[in-house]
Every structure is written in structure tokens, then in C-alpha cells.
Amino acid sequence: MEETDVCYLTPTVLSVQQAIPNGCPAKALAPSQRLTLGVQALAGHQTVTALADELDVSRKFVYQQAATAKAALEEAFAADEPEDKVLFYLPVTKNWLRQATVALTFLCHSSLRGVVEFWRDLFALKMSVGTVHNILQDAVDKARPYNRQQNLANVEIAGLDEIFQSGLPVCVGADVASSYCFLLSLGDHRDADTWGVHLLDLKERGFAPKATIADFGAGIRAGQQLAMPGSTCRGDVFHALQEITPVVGYLENRAYDAIETLHKLEQKKTKTKKHGRPTQSVARKLYLARPAEAKAVALADDIALLERWLHYDVLTVSGMPYAERCELFDFLCAELKAREQRCPHRIPRVRTLLENHRDELLAFAAQLDADLLNLAKEFQVPVDVVRELVDIQALDEHQSRRWQKEAAVREKLRCHFHALNAAVQDLTDQVVRASSIIENINSRLRSYFFLRKQLGPDYLELLQFFLNHHRFLRSDRPERVGKSPAELLTGQTHPHWLEMLGYRLFSRN
């Protein structure tokens, strides 16, 4: 043992020893000092007697610390445990078998026969498909009250959509903020009456959102007007862009084909020149190909430019006033109409869709205009300054132009800049332009539907309960991790979803 180690331990022990009534130095040693003592005893640089004398402890105490340090080292460098070592024992009861059956069905997306095979192969347990069905049916009766009694007054923006299974529509509705699924119903139709009845039932549970958002299905919008007259149903920006984007790709491919055709004809003309005068047919084809290529390229460039304006100017979150958006939207539709004859089987369909649903697609912009105006009144600044902040926040942080513009606005607002900038950021983050959450839920539903040819209302009832009360394991939004949609909607915690169904969870001792 080095002198520095002795000097380090001894004063500490002495100082603590004075504070202990019985004057026991061993009790005064901190865990780190006991570790050092054990390692020094194992190292063998000093005898056990010498170490005991230096610290004024017994030799037995030194041997105990050495044994503890040796056991820790042996455990750290021990070989891997055998694969067949028993880790823990599981008390298999009827209650546990039932909750495991429910968990296999929803956590593991298993079919009923898949559950039967699981018990047969891993537990040598015979369980029929009927037994699995009865277990799930019993869980349905316990889950139904949670679905029916949930108050929906906190739903501000609701997403509505339809998903099909075996040719039958399943009406789906969810809260955009929390992803709480408040509607999951199988029916024979998806017309206005069907949606109207569903929405009337939801109104009895406090459903009164500021707006809904959906694709351009006629049944959803007509049913909403029947059940909730005067309410706003926004158009899904994603679906609108998905209609025009393929047209851009088609016209670009057609332009490339025209360029390639012209190139081949020019090559053919060059080859014929080497053997004499080019044939009249090649010259005729070239005469027709050149203007066709120019028109195809020009049309592809024009439609691509209009699509970019629609995507990055009209339908984006920016400070552009609603009235200017409407003017630019009408200009784009007029330009599309002027080019319809050059692609009559693609462009008219897109143009008609945009014209018929302009107000629905720009509904988010109208709400954004009102919110920005309220924000300007709250901070007592011109609304143009607030709009400028929205545009600045949309710029890339690595661009010097952003910081130059921000510095100018900071000079105008001075001490109010940070508060207003944060308020604008919160406002723009809450703008809803697309029904992304409902598409996400549909993708999750599809993973449950594909194993079943038929869906019943009881299965959908239990699936809805699971989706709403199963806590998120991970999420792009940190505030959602470890919480369920029901907890996000109400702000109140609830037990584990299996405990809500009456089961007792297994816990290891």
C-alpha cells in the first residue's frame, strides 16, 4: 500500500471515528474506503496485519472486505450463464391464461388459431378456438362501458375516414391531438345517413369539435352537415397533393420519351447522311417530333411549377393572408384549365377536384388568419409583423437570410420578441392541414384486419378499447411516450389496460 493511500484513508477514518459514540473505526469507513481496503488486501502488497493496524480495525474485518471484493470480481469475470438456467417461476392460473390470450390477440396481432397453436406448442395446453372466442367475448363486455362512457368534450379537431375490409366500410374517427379513437364501426354503407347517425351518437357524449378534417368523400361531409349543421369539415391537403403529384410524374415521363424519340431520329438522320441523302420519311418524322418534344417539355415544366406553387405557397403554413391564397389558388386552377386539352385524360380531373374543394382545402388558412390577428391584438403589434415571424420560422436555420430577417424583427419588437416568437411557434405547430393521424390509425387497423375475413362489432369494440388504453412505447412526440390516448385526451391516468378488464398482472418478486 502506497503512502498516499494511507494518508487518504487514515484522516477520514479518524475524523468520523470521533463522531461515533462507541469509537468503532470499522463503522466509520465509507463504502469507497471499504472497497479500497478489500482491493489492497487482495493485491498482497501489505500484510493483513499491517492494513488492520493502519486503519485501527480488526484483521477479521480486513478478511471480510477482501472476501467481498473477491466475490464481486469473480461475478464480474464469470462465464455466461447456461441457457437452460431457470430465471424465475411463473404461477400459471386460469386468470393468467385468460389475460395472456387477450394479450396475444392484441399485443402480438395473433389470430384465434395462432393463439391455439401457441398454447399447444409452448405450454402443451389444449385450448379450442371456441374457448379463445369466449375469453375475448368476456373482455368485450368489460371494455364496452369504457368506450361508451368516455366524454368527448376535449376533442377540438377530429379526423374522419373510412377503411374497407372484405368490401364493407369501417367508419373511423379520432382526435387529432391525442389520437383517441372515438369511432370504430362496421356497416353496410358509408352514405350520409350512416355518418349522420354515428355523429349524432357522438354528440350525446359531448362531441363538439371546432372542426373536422377528412378526404373528399361525399358521405362524410353530407353526414356531418346533417348531424352538425354549420360545422367546418376541412379538406385533407395530403389527398389533394396526391392527386396532382402523379400527373407531374406522368408528364415528366412523357417529356423524356419525346426527348428520346427526337434524339433517336436525329441519330438516324446522321447515319443516313453518311450513305447519302436522308430519306423523306425521316425528315418528315423529325419535322413533327421537334414541336412535339418542345410542347411536352413545356407542359411538364408548367404543371411541375404549378404543383410547387400549390404545395409550397398556397397549402403551406405561412404568413400569406387568406385572401391572397384564394387568388393564387384560382390562378392555378385557371392555368390548369388552359392546359387541359394537352392532357385531357389527367389534368381535368385534378382541376375539377381543386375547384370544387377550394374552401375546404383553405379552411386551415382562414383559421390561421384569425389566430394571427388575435395574437397581434394580444401583443399590440401590427399583424404584418406576426406574419413575418411565421415566414421567418419556416426558413432553414442554416441560412444567413433567416437570421438577418430575425434581427430586423427583433429590433422592432425588442423585449416582446421572445414571448411573441414562442407564441407564434406554438400556434403554427397546432395547425392541422392533413388527416395524418387517421391515416396512421388506419395503418394500425390494417395489421389487425388482414388476419380476419370478417369483422364483428364486438371485436371492433375490444380493439377500440385496446387502441385507446394501451400506452405508447415510443413516439416522435416526447409528451406521448408512456401515456395512452385516453390519458392524453383527459389528462387523467388509468390502470393498465389488462387491469381495467379485471385481470391481475403478474409481478416478479
The answer as to whether 226 is a domain residue is yes
The answer as to whether 60 is a domain residue is yes
- CA torsion sign, 324 to 325 to 329 to 335? positive
Q: Judge if 356 and 253 occupy the same domain.
A: yes
pLDDT-based confidence at 368, cuts 50/70/90? very high
Number of domains in the chain: 4
Q: Judge if 101 and 214 occupy the same domain.
A: yes
Choosing from 344, 361, 378, the residue where a domain stops is: 361
Percent of the chain whose pLDDT exceeds 90: 59
Q: Judge if 206 and 136 occupy the same domain.
A: yes
Q: Judge if 188 and 66 occupy the same domain.
A: no
Model pLDDT, residue 390: 92
The answer as to whether 342 is a domain residue is yes
**pLDDT beyond 60 at 21:** no
Query: Which residues partner with 175 through β-bridges?
Result: 158
Q: Judge if 208 and 322 occupy the same domain.
A: no
Lowest-confidence pick of 55-59, 127-131, 204-208:
55-59
Q: How far apart are CA 202 and CA 208, in angstroms?
A: 9
Using one digit for the tens of pLDDT, what is the confidence trace for 349-358? Answer: 999 999 999 9
The answer as to whether 81 is a domain residue is no
**pLDDT beyond 50 at 208:** yes
Residue type, 247: V
Q: Is the CB of residue 269 less than 8 Å from the CB of residue 224?
A: no
Lowest-confidence pick of 22-31, 156-165, 219-228, 475-484:
22-31
Q: What average pLDDT does the segment 426-443 reach?
A: 90
For the record, the C-alpha cell of 324 comes out as 391572397
**pLDDT beyond 90 at 412:** no
Q: Judge if 223 and 245 occupy the same domain.
A: no
Q: Judge if 262 and 353 occupy the same domain.
A: yes
Choosing from 429, 453, 483, the residue where a domain stops is: 429
Q: What average pLDDT does the segment 328-356 reach?
A: 94
**pLDDT beyond 90 at 83:** no
* Total-model pTM: 0.75
The answer as to whether 83 is a domain residue is no
> Alpha helices of 151-279 — where are they, by DSSP H?
192-203, 218-227, 237-274
pLDDT-based confidence at 278, cuts 50/70/90? low
The answer as to whether 82 is a domain residue is no
The answer as to whether 13 is a domain residue is yes
Q: Is the CB of residue 395 less than 8 Å from the CB of residue 139?
A: no
Domain that holds residue 259: 237-361
Residue type, 83: E
Using one digit for the tens of pLDDT, what is the confidence trace for 5-18? Answer: 433 444 444 344 44
Q: Judge if 97 and 227 occupy the same domain.
A: yes
Query: Angle 363-379/417-429 helices, nearest 10 degrees?
Result: 160
Model pLDDT, residue 22: 54
Please report, in angstroms and rounded to a whole number, the separation of the first and last CA atoms in the chain: 42
Q: Judge if 98 and 223 occupy the same domain.
A: yes
Query: Angle 94-106/129-149 helices, nearest 10 degrees?
Result: 70
How would DSSP label each residue in 300-356? HHHHHHHHHHIIIIISSSSS--HHHHHHHHHHHHHHHHHTGGGSTTTHHHHHHHHHH
Q: Judge if 356 and 374 occupy the same domain.
A: no
Lowest-confidence pick of 86-100, 105-119, 321-335:
86-100
Q: Which H/E stretch holds residue 53?
A: helix 48-55
pLDDT-based confidence at 275, cuts 50/70/90? low
Q: How far apart are CA 63 and CA 47, in angstroms?
A: 11
Using one digit for the tens of pLDDT, what is the confidence trace for 450-498? Answer: 877 777 888 999 999 999 999 998 888 888 899 999 999 999 999 999 9
How would DSSP label each residue in 103-128? HHHHTS---HHHHHHHHHHHH-----
Q: Judge if 357 and 403 occupy the same domain.
A: no
Choosing from 361, 394, 415, the residue where a domain stops is: 361
For the record, the C-alpha cell of 115 comes out as 393463439
Q: Judge if 413 and 493 occupy the same domain.
A: no
The answer as to whether 85 is a domain residue is no
Model pLDDT, residue 19: 46
